Every structure is written in C-alpha cells, then in structure tokens.
Amino acid sequence: MPGVPAAPDMSSTQPRPVYVIGAGPGGLAVAAALRARGVRAVVVEKSDGVGASWRGHYARLHLHTTRRLSALPGLAIPRRFGRWVSRDDVVRYLEKYAEFHELELVTGVEVTRIERAPTAADGGDGAGDGGGAAAGEGPGWLLHASGGRVLAGRAVVVATGFNHTPRLPDWPGRDTYTGALAHAAAYRDPKPYEGRDVLVVGAGNTGAEIAVDLAEGGAARVRLAVRTAPHIVRRSTAGWPAQRTGILVRRLPVRLVDRLGALTAKISVPDLTAYGLPRPESGLYSRVRQGAIPVQDVGLIAAVRAGTVEPVAAVEAFDGAEVVLADGSRITPDAVVAATGYRRGLEGLIGHLDVLDERGRPLAHGRRTPAQAPGLYFTGFTNPISGMFREMALDAEKIAKVLARRLGVRAAARRAAAHLPDTGLRPVDPPA
C-alpha cells in the first residue's frame, strides 16, 4: 500500500478530488466506479490496509450471500473461493480489487471531522485549493484528518461501515461481573473458551454463528440469550439461495411477504418452541423493515435440537458471578460474549451537519445527498435483505453517475487526458 502523502498543495491548479472515507467494500466500489468515469477519487483509510473490518471478524465467518451476487463493479470474485466466500478470501478479493483498478489509497490517516469549505459569503474565496470550482461543483468540503492535515475535496463519500463501533449495553451491575465479558467484535475463535461455560447474548446472525462455533469448538456449555425470537431461514434450499428470494420480494407489499415468509418457515424450518426458541410473532419482512435481518442457518437449528446450544431468556443484569435473566432465573457462566450490535459512529465526523437521524444513521443514502449538505454521500449504512455487497455495488454506480454529471466530467475525455484505462465497470447484477 502507498505511504501517507504530505498534506496536499493548496495552491495546485489540479481539480480537487472526491474523497472516499473508508477502504472497505463500499468505499472501494465507489472509488472504482468514479475512476471509470474519469473522476479522481482518493480513498482515505485509518488502518494500514483495505478491508480492515473484515480482517477483524471471527475466523469462521463466510458471506451469507453468494459469490456471484456479492462481486463489486468491474471484477468478479474468483470461482475458486467457492459459493460462500470466507472471511480471508473476502480480504484477498478486496486487496485484488484495489490493485486491479489502480485505486488511489491513503492509509494510516483518520478523518475526524468534515466541514463545508468556506464560500465567498463566509469570507473565503469559494475555491478552497486555489484551483477554482468546476461547473456545478460548489464550494466543496474540508476534511480534518490526523497529523493536522486539512484536505480539500469537491465531494465526499462516507463509507466507514455499518458495523463501526461495538455497542455494549450498560446492564445494571455489569462492572461487578467476575467472569470474562467481551463484545463479539473481539471474538476470533473458540479456543480461549474450551471447557468453559459461555453465554452468548443476542440472537442475530453474529450471535447465532458464534454460539455454534463455541459448541463445535469445545466449550463445555453454550447458552444463547434471546430477547426477541428471530426469524430463521435456510441459507440455501435445493440450490436456491435465500438472497435471491430477498431480491425478488423486497419490492412486494410487506404483508404479502410476511405471509409468504410464514408459510416458507413452516415448510423448511422446524418448530423449536420446545427447545426455548419459539416462532416469531411478528412477520419476517415487518422485522426487516425495522432493521432486523433474518438469521441464516449455518448450524443453529441442529445445535439447538441437539442441546449443544441452549436458548435462554434475555439478560437483565449482572450480580457478581451471576447473570440475571428476564425470566428471573440466575446463571453463572464463566464468560459472556455480547453480540449486541454496533453503532455507526458518525456523530463526531458529521454530527454537526444535521444529516443524521435520531439513531445516528444518515438521512440520505446512495445517490441521494442531503439537501442541507449537497456533495456529501453515504454508502454501506443499510443492511438490506437483498445482500449488503450487492447493494453497495449498485450504489457505487449510482453515486458515480450522479457525481460525474454534477461535476461536469466527460468520462471519455478525462480518461484520455489521464491515460486511464476503460475498466468497463457495470453493475454486477441489475436491480430486481
């Protein structure tokens, strides 16, 4: 990876770049799509390489979406990676993607605050870097970064990730717990938990998969604390992936999809009520619209039926060595792994721009830019039923198209001038 450059020459006559914050799949896809349209994009990443969040995931993790429906624009995922791509192969693919598209990466630099560039009305010259503003460009943006850097960009794409800051509930008595308590973000493999009694908190995809990993990896006992019973779907049925169903139904009426989901569950997923995991009361798609993605079965059903993973009530509090559950019972696990989700962590970066909702999520997403912050774009902050990688790939093309038009860039002319190859980027999978 290229080293960290010096602060940009503010007197340069070259057009200011579009800055992309984050070198995960969303950021890399946008940068590649912009480059293909002749727009200079610089990816700024606080870690020392691409795909940092993927490198930190637990070893067992595979994409729950198929290889063919998870590729980013312009480069297929190698067939040798298999249908369900592993964590390590996702990282390899992202590294190859950045290399293949010759993306301009700046690593080891953290952007801490984004502000509008001053306009003439504010007492500035409205240009920001002495180079003037292109047609439709506006005053642009200033990015405050580590090392005292101030970067001037024509537009900014924020792609810092859906799972950014681990969220650990402030349970009563949490600090009194005498066992080992860790967020799922710190979990890598079951080896440290061999022979131990472990409670996993949270029955989403992460919690369910970690519970199975622990049970298969030698933990003496594994319990899964469930507050709201999840919808469980088969990752694939007769070769048909659940993702394709998600793509097909996402534009149908919610009530219809709820009914179809209930019917499918009765046929394909056994009733686990007797094991402490009842069928959900609310509909599958109703839950999706509220932000709860179904749990794809990668061993949970078999583990619950075999008794190697025991569903229990939600955690209410801690009391020394004990964990107090919502049904009033108390248990004494040796360790607790909290798969309790993440926050987007955008408040410090852009909270002052009034572009976040009450839950800290961007008010606009994809090709849409907030009315109060034109030129500021977001990708990768939704968790769609149709697959996050797929939607980021589609968003990348849409953002690049809008930005190229807004900045008045003629792709063919810019490619010729910059000697950039025509990478032929197209959406990998047309919208359903």
**What's 186-224 look like in SS3?**
HCCCCHHHCCCEEEEECCCHHHHHHHHHHHHCCCCEEEE
Strand partners, 224: 200, 311
Distance CA 323, CA 316 (A): 8
Backbone angles phi, psi at 425, to 5 degrees: -65, 135
Distance CA 314, CA 200 (A): 10
Question: Cα torsion at 90, 96, 99, 104 (round to 10°)?
Answer: -10
Question: Are residues 181 and 336 in contact, defined by beta-carbon separation less than 8 angstroms?
Answer: yes
Question: Are residues 214 and 190 in contact, defined by beta-carbon separation less than 8 angstroms?
Answer: yes
Question: Are residues 403 and 31 in contact, defined by beta-carbon separation less than 8 angstroms?
Answer: no
The parts of the chain modelled with pLDDT lower than 70 are 1-15, 119-138, 410-432
Write out the two tokens for 71: 């590729």
For 218-232, write each residue's pLDDT tens digit. 999 999 999 999 999
pLDDT of 3: 40
Backbone angles phi, psi at 317, to 5 degrees: -165, 170
Write out the two tokens for 312: 């229990």
For 284-318, write each residue's pLDDT tens digit. 999 988 888 899 999 999 999 999 999 999 999 99
DSSP state of 424: -
Question: Pairing mode, if any, of strands 111-116 and 141-145?
Answer: antiparallel
DSSP state of 185: G
213-231: buried (b, 16+ CB within 10 Å) or exposed (e) per residue?
bbbebebebbbbbbeebbb
pLDDT of 408: 81
pLDDT of 291: 80
pLDDT of 123: 46
**What's 252-319 look like in SS3?**
CCHHHHHHHHHHHHHHHCCCEHHHCECCCCCCHHHHHHCCCCCEEECCHHHHHHHCCCEEEECEEEEE
Question: Are residues 21 and 27 in contact, defined by beta-carbon separation less than 8 angstroms?
Answer: yes
Distance CA 280, CA 90 (A): 32
pLDDT of 115: 95
pLDDT of 138: 56
pLDDT of 304: 98
Question: Pairing mode, if any, of strands 221-226 and 141-145?
Answer: unpaired
Query: Closest by alpha carbon to 11, among 105, 145, 125, 104?
Result: 125
Burial label, 4 (beta-carbon count in 10 A; 0-12, 13-18, 19+): middle
Burial label, 430 (beta-carbon count in 10 A; 0-12, 13-18, 19+): exposed
pLDDT of 271: 95
pLDDT of 120: 45
Question: Are residues 318 and 172 in contact, defined by beta-carbon separation less than 8 angstroms?
Answer: yes
